[in-house]
């Protein structure tokens, strides 16, 4: 079995979050471009056939990836148990947030919700397993699982590194 040191796990956590951040923003920037081309502005919020990216869960998930990546980068430089625990909790929030969005997208896709659903995704009408939110969930989940291992190791060592 491969046993990684704590510094390597911290680096892995950062790489996962960097990957999630790049993936999320690469999808979101395309949505901004499509919306801008269609409406000529990013400040239209009503009567839109295409949801405004600022109002979608994708935008807030992308911001969460940026925050988590910056946080993980500081942990690579100066790891502390308290900061790692807080990042772990933040990543858990990311998993719950993305999971909730995927759950809502699933309910909307299979028409389990009565009446018209409010679009929260940047890709409404797409199979939930093919949406950017689902892949964001996978990135958050992987980073969260790595963060659990890091937190346990930092807690067991009782010192910074």
pLDDT at 161 (0 to 100): 45
- Residue 1, burial from CB neighbour count under 10 angstroms (0-12, 13-18, 19+): exposed
Q: Evaluate whether 98 touches 120 at the Cβ level (below 8 Å).
A: no
Give phi and psi for 160, each to the nearest 5: -70, -50
Eight-state DSSP code of residue 119: P
This prediction's pTM: 0.90
Chain-centroid distance of CA 23 in Å reads 9
List of the chain residues with pLDDT < 70 = 1-2, 117, 158-161
pLDDT of residue 2: 67
Q: Where are the domains of the chain?
A: 7-157
The first and second tokens of residue 129, run together, are 């397993």
Instruction: State residue 126's pLDDT score.
Output: 85
């Amino acid at each position: 079995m491969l046993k990684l040191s704590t510094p390597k796990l911290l680096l892995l956590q950062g790489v996962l979050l960097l990957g999630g951040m790049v993936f999320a923003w690469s999808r979101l920037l395309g949505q901004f471009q499509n919306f801008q081309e269609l409406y000529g502005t990013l400040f239209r919020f009503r009567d839109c056939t295409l949801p405004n990216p600022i109002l979608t869960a994708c935008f807030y998930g992308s911001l969460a990836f940026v925050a988590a990546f910056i946080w993980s980068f500081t942990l690579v430089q100066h790891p502390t148990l308290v900061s790692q625990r807080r990042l772990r909790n933040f990543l858990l929030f990311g998993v719950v947030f993305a999971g909730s969005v995927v759950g809502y997208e699933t309910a909307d896709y299979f028409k389990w919700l009565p009446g018209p659903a409010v679009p929260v995704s940047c890709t409404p009408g797409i199979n939930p397993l093919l949406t950017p939110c689902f892949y964001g969930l996978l990135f958050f989940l992987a980073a969260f699982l790595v963060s659990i291992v890091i937190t346990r190791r930092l807690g067991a060592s009782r010192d910074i590194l």
